């Protein structure tokens, strides 16, 4: 695992460790790690092993007889099934759109917050609050009080611009769900980018000012490159969470109209809860996990690089 | 890569405070607009149902607690389940994460990097992929619809994050202090108990707060694996949406009540929020 070599080491005395320590010492060191390690292996890995097993079984909740082996037929179904592919594509689109938009807004908000002004603490608090609102509550509040076609606040605010009584969740369902995802994750991006802005060495900026560089040029030539690892970290972590978006889909549109907002998590949920197809869902799950591992391999590499940077700096 | 032409700034003609006030105004307007849905949720919650479904929306009305009263009736089982699942999993997370973080930082095991990355990689596995089998396992172990199951799963969900975060706090404990304790002949348990833990206590608190936020807000697992005996607050919220009739004010009241604890926790944890969310990467 060469990727991992990039991560900064713990400090000093820890460095002397590896070969010099005896067998007893090695176990003394390992002992505190074991409970957590065993716990995570048991709780997170076993379900996936069972998933793998069920992916080769035909198993429907609503049919008697339990599970029986069907070979690769679940997988053939997954690969020939347009709704799986559709939900996969929708997952990618929703995640990418939400992460990118949230990051752009996040950079803008962070720049606003990076300067001293009256009530900065309160403004910061207001901006992070959407992240703290229970996602289920956010989804329901957006679906009802905010976006309702007949008495929603958004239609009222847009009326002066000639937009009247739009049924957002029917006409722009995907967009509406993405807006809520952006709304909830912009604070996260803001905080990470703000940390980056505040770690910028002031003397570099000072020097740029003395050299007569404009604010925009300074931002593009100095600040953005400095922010890069922070932006990468935000995009990476945001994607990990957002790709699993379920609450907003389930509570705002229930995957519809049609399947227009059915992403992968919601599709898998439907397979188990409405189609009662445990085997099919398991096969789709296995494919999802394999795709995730491919993406995660790159993600972990990026993660290691960002951490190396941060720890070297700190 | 184009470089903007370098232009010497004009000598300042407007006084500095004008720019500063302008900045403040922009920031406040943007923040309030962004916060508006939360504000609207709370405002709607104080409306009588008849004032919530009007066109144009009403901004002036006689506030009432009626919908709150209605919303909280029948809420207590959900609330108790949420508190138990959140508190239980957070305590279990800390009990497992502190020793693990210690073994990955202070006296690291040989392949500590692999360990760290194993933990983080479990966060990337989509739990939704295993939901059917998870249900079957829970059924066979008689854990279905139990608080115990929720505690087990929420612990697994938050443990990687907590280990990374606590490790980052432990790395900041000054080496001289550990050295001094060792010279005093302190064993490892005493070293943890009397040197490391007191120093990282604020870090542990913020780690716990982050775990509370994620456990409290979790819906997917609760929806799939609980019915009545362990249904949590997000489930309560779902059940507060009736199939028919007027419900907007009722819903807003329920959403407000369900969200408030975590909003308050998050406001308290503001300083350390970014550190927790970046798994300790950003200080």
CATH number for B150 = 1.10.3720.10
Is the pLDDT score of A137 beyond 90?
yes
- Which pLDDT belongs to residue A2? 26
Chain pair A-B, CB pairs under 8 angstroms: 351
Q: Measured between CB atoms, which of B41, B106, B163 is closest to A141?
A: B41
Residue A313 has pLDDT above 80, yes or no: no
Higher pLDDT, residue B155 or B57? B155
Query: In this structure, are residues B92 and B155 in contact, taking their beta carbons and an 8 Å threshold?
Result: yes
Domain boundary among B69, B85, B100: B69
Could you report the per-residue pLDDT of A18-51, keeping only the tens digit for each? 555 688 888 888 899 999 999 999 998 898 898 8
All residues of chain A having their beta carbon less than 8 Å from the beta carbon of residue B154 are none
Residue A16's pLDDT is what? 44
Min Cα–Cα distance to chain B from A228, Å: 14
Same domain, B60 and B196: no
As for how many domains chain B has, the answer is 2
ipTM: 0.88
- Residue B244 banded pLDDT, cuts 50, 70, 90: low
Longest dimension (CA), chain A: 80
The pLDDT score that the predictor gives to residue A6 is: 37
Measured between CA atoms, how close is B231 to chain A, in angstroms? 14
Task: With respect to residue B102, please indicate whether it lies within any of the assigned structural domains.
Answer: yes
Question: According to the model, what pLDDT value does residue B46 have?
Answer: 94
Q: CA separation (Å) from B137 to A48, A170, B186?
A: 11, 38, 45
How many residues make up chain B in this entry? 283
B54, B69, B84: which is the final residue of a domain? B69
CB-based contact, B44 to chain A, within 8 Å: yes
pLDDT in tens, B68-120: 998 888 899 999 999 999 999 999 999 999 999 999 988 888 888 888 888 88
B4–A14 C-beta distance less than 8 A: no
Same domain, B50 and B123: no
Res B182 pLDDT > 50: yes
Over residues A142-163, the pLDDT tens digits come to 998 999 988 899 999 999 998 8
Pair (B29, B85) in one structural domain: no
Give residue B189's domain range. Answer: 73-234+252-277
**Region for residue A148 given its phi and psi (left: phi exceeds 0; alpha: psi -120 to 50; beta: otherwise):** beta
Does A182 or B130 have the greater pLDDT score? A182
Mean pLDDT of A121-147: 94
> Which chain A residues touch B270 with a CB distance below 8 Å?
124-125, 128
Q: What is the pLDDT of residue B45?
A: 94
B104 lies in the same domain as B202: yes
- Report, as an integer, the average pLDDT of A127-154: 93
CA distances from A63 to A218, B198, B244 (A): 66, 57, 33
Residues 76-105 of A with CB under 8 A from B: none
B182 and A CB contact within 8 Å: no
Residue written as tokens 């403040």?
B24
pLDDT digits (tens, 9 = 90+) for B1-44: 455 555 555 555 667 777 788 899 999 999 999 999 999 999 99
The span from the first CA to the last CA of chain B, in angstroms, equals 32
Residue B260 touches chain A, beta carbons under 8 Å: no
Of the three residues B43, B69, B95, the one that is the final residue of a domain is: B69
B195 and B262 co-located in one domain: yes
Asked if the structure places residue B45 within a domain, the reply is: yes
Q: Is the pLDDT of residue B218 over 90?
A: yes
Is-above-0.95 flag for pTM?
Answer: no
DSSP B23-37: HHHHHHHHHHHHHHH
* Average pLDDT value for residue range B167-179: 88
φ/ψ (deg, to 5) at A277: -100, 85
**What pLDDT score does A165 carry?**
86
Does B158 contact chain A (CB < 8 Å)?
A: no
In a domain, B269, yes or no: yes
Q: What is the three-state SS of chain A?
A: CHHHHHCCCCCHHHHHHHHHCCHHHHHHHHHHHHHHHHHHHHHHHHHHHHHHHHCCEECECCCCCCCEECCCHHHHHHHHCHHHHHHHHHHHHHHHHHHHHHHHHHHHHHHHHCCCCCCHHHHHHHHHHHHHCCHHHHHHHHHHHHCCCCCCHHHHHHHHHCCCCCCHHHHCHHHHHHHHHHHHHHHHHHHHHHHHHHCCCHHHHHHHHHCCCCHHHHHHHHHHHHHHHHHHHHHHHHHHHHCCCCHHHHHHHCCCCCCCCCCHHHHHHHHHHCCCEHHHHHHHHHHHHHHHHHHHHHHHHHHHHHHHHHHHHC
Q: Are strands A57-58 and A68-69 parallel, antiparallel or unpaired?
A: antiparallel
d(CA B115, CA A187): 30
Range with lowest mean pLDDT among A62-76, A130-144, B21-35? A62-76
Within an 8 Å CB–CB cutoff, is residue A185 touching chain B? no
Q: Say which residues have a Cβ less than 8 Å from residue B79's Cβ, sequence separation at least 6.
A: B233, B236
Does residue B112 sit in the same domain as residue B21?
no
Is residue B127 in a domain? yes
In the stretch 274-293 of chain A, residues with CB closer than 8 A to chain B read 278, 281-282, 284-286, 288-289, 292-293
> If you average pLDDT over residues B131-157, what whole number do you get?
92
- Judgement on whether residues B202 and B88 belong to the same structural domain of the protein: yes
The fraction of chain B above a pLDDT of 70, given in percent, is: 94
Which residues in chain B are closer than 8 Å to A5, comparing Cβ atoms?
A: 113
Are B119 and B198 in a shared domain?
A: yes
Asked whether residue B145 falls in the same domain as residue B273, the answer is yes
Per-residue pLDDT, averaged over A227-253, amounts to 90
Q: Are residues B39 and B79 in the same domain?
A: no
Q: Is residue B246 part of a domain?
A: no
Average pLDDT, chain B: 87
Which of A85-99, B50-64, B151-165 bottoms out in mean pLDDT, i.e. has the lowest? B50-64
- Chain A neighbors of B28, CB-CB under 8 A: 119, 123
In a domain? residue B245: no
B217, B142: one domain: yes
**Residues B51 and B189 grouped into a single domain:** no
| Domains of chain A as residue ranges with CATH | 74-313 (1.10.3720.10)
Q: Where does the pLDDT of residue A112 fall: very low under 50, low under 70, confident under 90, or very high at 90 and above? A: very high
Residue of A32, A106, A130, A221 best to disrupt the B interface, most CBs of B under 10 A: A32
Asked if residue B36 belongs to a domain, the reply is: yes
Question: A292–B233: do the CB atoms touch at under 8 Å?
Answer: no
In a domain, B138, yes or no: yes
The answer to whether A119 contacts B24, with C-beta atoms less than 8 Å apart, is yes
């Amino acid at each position: 695992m060469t990727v991992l070599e990039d991560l900064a080491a713990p400090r000093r005395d820890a460095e002397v460790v590896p070969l010099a320590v005896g067998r007893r010492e090695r176990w003394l060191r390992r002992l505190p790690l074991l409970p957590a390690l065993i716990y995570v292996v048991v709780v997170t890995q076993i379900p996936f092993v069972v998933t793998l097993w069920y992916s080769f079984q035909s198993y429907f909740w609503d049919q008697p007889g339990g599970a029986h082996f069907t070979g690769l037929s679940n997988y053939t179904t997954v690969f020939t099934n347009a709704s799986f592919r559709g939900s996969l594509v929708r997952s990618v689109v929703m995640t990418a759109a939400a992460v990118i938009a949230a990051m752009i807004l996040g950079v803008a908000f962070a720049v606003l917050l990076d300067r001293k002004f009256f009530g900065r603490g309160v403004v910061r608090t207001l901006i992070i609050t959407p992240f703290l609102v229970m996602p289920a509550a956010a989804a329901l509040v957006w679906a009802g009080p905010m976006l309702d076609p007949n008495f929603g606040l958004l239609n009222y605010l847009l009326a002066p611009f000639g937009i009247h009584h739009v049924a957002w969740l029917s006409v722009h369902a995907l967009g509406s769900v993405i807006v809520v995802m952006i709304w909830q994750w912009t604070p996260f991006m803001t905080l990470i980018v703000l940390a980056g802005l505040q770690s910028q060495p002031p003397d570099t900026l000072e020097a740029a000012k003395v050299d007569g560089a404009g604010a925009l040029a300074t931002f593009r030539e100095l600040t953005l490159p400095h922010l890069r690892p922070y932006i990468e970290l935000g995009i990476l972590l945001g994607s990990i969470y957002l790709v699993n978006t379920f609450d907003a889909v389930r509570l705002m549109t229930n995957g519809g109209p049609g399947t227009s907002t059915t992403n992968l998590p919601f599709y898998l949920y439907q397979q188990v809860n409405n189609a009662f197809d445990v085997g099919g869902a398991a096969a789709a799950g296995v494919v999802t996990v394999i795709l995730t591992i491919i993406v995660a391999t790159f993600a972990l590499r990026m993660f290691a690089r960002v951490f190396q940077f941060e720890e070297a700096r700190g | 890569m184009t470089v903007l032409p370098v232009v010497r700034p004009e000598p300042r003609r407007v006084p500095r405070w004008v720019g500063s006030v302008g900045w403040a105004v922009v920031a406040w307007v943007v923040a309030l607009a962004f916060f508006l849905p939360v504000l609207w949720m709370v405002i709607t919650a104080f409306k009588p149902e008849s004032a919530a479904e009007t066109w144009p929306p009403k901004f002036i009305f006689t506030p009432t607690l009626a919908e709150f009263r209605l919303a909280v009736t029948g809420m207590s089982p959900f609330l108790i389940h949420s508190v138990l699942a959140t508190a239980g999993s957070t305590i279990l997370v800390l009990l497992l994460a502190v020793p693990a973080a210690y073994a990955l930082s202070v006296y690291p095991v040989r392949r500590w990097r692999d360990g760290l990355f194993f933990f983080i990689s479990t966060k990337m596995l989509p739990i939704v992929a295993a939901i059917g089998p998870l249900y079957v396992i829970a059924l066979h172990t008689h854990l279905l619809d139990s608080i115990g199951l929720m505690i087990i799963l929420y612990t697994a969900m938050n443990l990687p994050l907590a280990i990374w975060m606590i490790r980052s706090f432990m790395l900041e404990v000054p080496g001289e202090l550990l050295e001094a304790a060792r010279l005093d002949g302190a064993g490892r348990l005493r070293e943890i108990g009397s040197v490391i833990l007191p120093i990282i206590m604020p870090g542990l608190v913020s780690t716990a707060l982050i775990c509370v936020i994620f456990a409290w807000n979790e819906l997917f697992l609760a929806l799939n694996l609980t019915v009545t005996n362990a249904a949590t607050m997000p489930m309560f919220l779902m059940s507060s949406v009736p199939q028919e009739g007027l419900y907007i004010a009722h819903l807003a009241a329920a959403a407000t009540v369900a969200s408030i604890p975590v909003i308050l926790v998050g406001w308290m944890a503001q300083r350390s929020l970014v550190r927790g969310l970046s798994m300790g990467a950003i200080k």
